[in-house]
Structure 1
Amino acid sequence: MTTTTAETPPLRLRSPSDLLSATPYLLGFHPSNSLVVLGLHGTGLHFHVRGDLPDDRDDGEMLAEEYAAMFGRHKVDGVVLIAYGPERAERFLRAVADAMRRHGIPVPECLRAHEGRYWSLTCDEPDCCPPEGRPFDVRSSAAAAEATLAGMVALPDREAVVRALDGPTGDALAAIQEATDRAGLRLVRLASAAAADIGVGPAAVRAGALALAAAVKRYRAGGRLTDDEVAWLTLLLHVLPFRDQAWLRIDRDGPPGRAVHRQLWADLVRRADPGLVAPAAMLLGYVCWRAGDGLRAGIAVDRALEADPGYRGARLMAEILDRAVPPSALPPLGRPRRRAVRRRMR
């Protein structure tokens, strides 16, 4: 099963057609062969999950219980279920609805969508929900227009999102590998010069802090790093104390800085030497998760683990995503405690 979880931005959804029109924008792509679960808090959507439809009935029963347990842990007030697929998808859809109800979770709406039509499993009125289904058009929906105005984008499919974060190939790969060789020599010279002074580790952290500050400033102004700058920052991120500084800065810059950090780390993921991309990809996964973009967070973490299966930061992020932990459940990193602040002021 491939699952994507994320917190849901506020959208006004008044009908099944609105739900179906907004869902691709919530996910970031138009789903197919998928189950989407929208968690409700009060009268609004709060948390959503997308997963592949199972291949057989045994997997379906087990997955249904997993979905119900997940949303039970989040203490939602109810869920809306949407299956994207042919009629056979209804068996799994009903299994998930039954599991939710066994866990005490109301299911006010249960939909199946396929080839521009939808069917409601909670409505048996022919005038409202005819056997042939009701047509819907994502493009002409007010919900889709509202999502677009909010800056949300729906790519054609999940693979399009994955491709948008692919690493370099061909000439671009050769160029960044050459730049990485130059960055490696630069790092050796830095280590040699610092060995008898402040030490190699502190020198690398200081160099990383300078490189990161310059990179954030560049992307905030709409610029972009050169290959040599990408390679230098990529290598320095393998120094864990500096990697942790970069991680902390994502939260310290707060929501206003997230767009800049997403642009920076996404650019590194697309351009860095694929064998060295794990720290940058993990940071991209973190900032996407903080921003409520579970889809890209998962793709970035997969890139990190592909480059380095044992990378601990990526494994931690993978666990957070697998457990569907929402950003609101974890405070920002590096937030000073009030008691410590008061102690310093004395």
Structure 2
Amino acid sequence: MTTPPPSTPHFDFHLSNPGALIAAIPAVLGFVPHRSLVLVTIDRGELGCVMRADLADDMTDRIEYLADLAAAAGADAVIAVVVDAASSDCRACDDRYRDLTLLLVDELAAVGVELCAAHVVDQVAAGGFWRCADGCGEEGRVDDPGASPLAAAAVLDGRRLYGSRDELLQVIRPDPVAGASMKRKLALAARPPGGAVSRPDADVRRDVEAALTAAQQVAAGDQPGRDELVRLALGLADPRVRDTLYALAVGECAEQAESLWALLARNLPEPWRVEALVLLAFSAYSRGDGPLAGVSLEAALRSRPTHRMAGMLDTALQSGMRPDRIRELALTGYRLAEQVGVQLPPRRTWGRRAG
């Protein structure tokens, strides 16, 4: 996973202070990492994208992949942080951390990126204990992640911070009971997901308006019934409906629409949930929530690797493209809405905090 930092005003944030740097990681990733290798990229002396991979016995392929991502993001250098609860009472693990550091040095050098430092920490929490991964002797305590300037900036950006990656995944985790029930209904549908059957403008308009109504319903705490969810799934099978709805990510009802996409992602079966996942990813990315966008795109591409929009968004996210560039794609939705005669909510005014 690659995540750009929150778009923020200038903060007195020192990359050379390991305790502060480690405390800032949850604000950028969107969750508290456990058993992870985290690479914090540095771009012209400033904090860049942050990448994470699960720890494994053999990290060769994962480190090679992360090094390629760091290079693609234009990083000059990276700082590595190994999050391993065993590090506090497992001095025998030191050789493994040193080997991992050497592997990082080699793989990063191969793509023209420098490893500035490597730290091992037992937990990313206030008072967590960190030390050098290469045995240099430096050590210290982690600052309070909740007091990090980047945590404050993330909250101002409208991002939720999760206690773990599993908690983040709960946002899109499918409900097998609901999915099985919906699958029987959708199996009788005339329009398969991804279908390209041309439909009258009036039908497209009704499906877009149904999605707007459902978003307001979800925002009011009233979950649509299964028949209505099936209708929404059928609407998303039409490319013109789906492409129009991308515009909601930059409109005044963006939060309501995002809640609807998350609800559909949890309740629709494969492969119908893919379009909801991509709409959710686009909405999250547009407001700067790279973690939610990342897990949504991962799930969508796992189900349909050839999905064009998911692939494009994933490439943009992995390369560290800023949310303001992504939001430009929503303009197509407004043009399509005008063509079919549907009135979308006005566009939001995005300030600096929004990316």
TM-score, normalising length: structure 1: 0.72
Alignment of 1:66-85 (within 5 A): 66-85=65-84
Alignment of 1:48-127 (within 5 A): 48-56=50-58, 60=60, 63-85=62-84, 86=87, 87=94, 88-101=96-109, 103-115=111-123, 116-121=128-133, 124=136
In structure 2, which of residues 8, 18, 21 is the aligned counterpart of residue 19 of structure 1? 21
Distance 2:282 2:30 in 1: 17
Aligned to 1:162: 169
Query: Does the 8 Å contact 1:183/1:228 carry over to 2?
Result: no
Does the C-alpha gap of structure 1 residues 95 and 205 become closer, same or farther in structure 2, counting only changes over 3 Å?
same
Does the C-alpha gap of structure 1 residues 330 and 163 become closer, same or farther in structure 2, counting only changes over 3 Å?
closer
Query: Does the 8 Å contact 1:77/1:106 carry over to 2?
Result: yes
Deviation at 1:66, TM superposition (A): 4.0
The structure number with the bigger radius of gyration is 1
Distance 2:305 2:67 in 1: 30
Does the C-alpha gap of structure 1 residues 200 and 45 become closer, same or farther in structure 2, counting only changes over 3 Å?
same
Distance 2:327 2:159 in 1: 25
Distance 2:116 2:254 in 1: 35
Distance 1:159 1:103 in 2: 32
Query: Does the 8 Å contact 1:8/1:26 carry over to 2?
Result: yes
Alignment of 1:195-344 (within 5 A): 200-218=199-217, 224-251=223-250, 253=251, 258-308=254-304, 311-321=307-317, 326-327=322-323, 332-333=328-329, 335=331
Aligned to 1:134: 140
Query: Does the 8 Å contact 2:172/2:265 carry over to 1?
Result: yes
Look up the equivalent residue of 2:131 and give its one-letter code. W
Query: Does the 8 Å contact 1:6/1:289 carry over to 2?
Result: no
Q: Which segment is superposed worse, 238-247 or 311-320? A: 311-320
Does the C-alpha gap of structure 1 residues 89 and 328 become closer, same or farther in structure 2, counting only changes over 3 Å?
farther
Aligned to 2:2: 5
Deviation at 1:209, TM superposition (A): 1.8
Does the C-alpha gap of structure 1 residues 143 and 249 become closer, same or farther in structure 2, counting only changes over 3 Å?
closer
Distance 1:181 1:76 in 2: 46
TM-score, normalising length: structure 2: 0.70
Look up the equivalent residue of 1:287 and give its one-letter code. S
Distance 2:180 2:71 in 1: 49
Distance 1:236 1:66 in 2: 37
SS, match of residue 82 in structure 1: strand
Query: Does the 8 Å contact 2:41/2:79 carry over to 1?
Result: yes
In structure 2, which of residues 23, 28, 31 is the aligned counterpart of residue 29 of structure 1? 31
Look up the equivalent residue of 2:169 and give its one-letter code. V
Query: Does the 8 Å contact 2:246/2:279 carry over to 1?
Result: yes
Query: What's the RMSD between the two structures over aligned residues?
Result: 3.7
Structure 1: gaps of 5 or more residues = 188-198, 337-346
Higher relative contact order (CA 8 A, sep 6+): 2
Deviation at 1:245, TM superposition (A): 1.3
Q: Deviations over 1:212-259 (max 9, x none)?
A: 3323444566765443332211111001221111124435x2xx6543
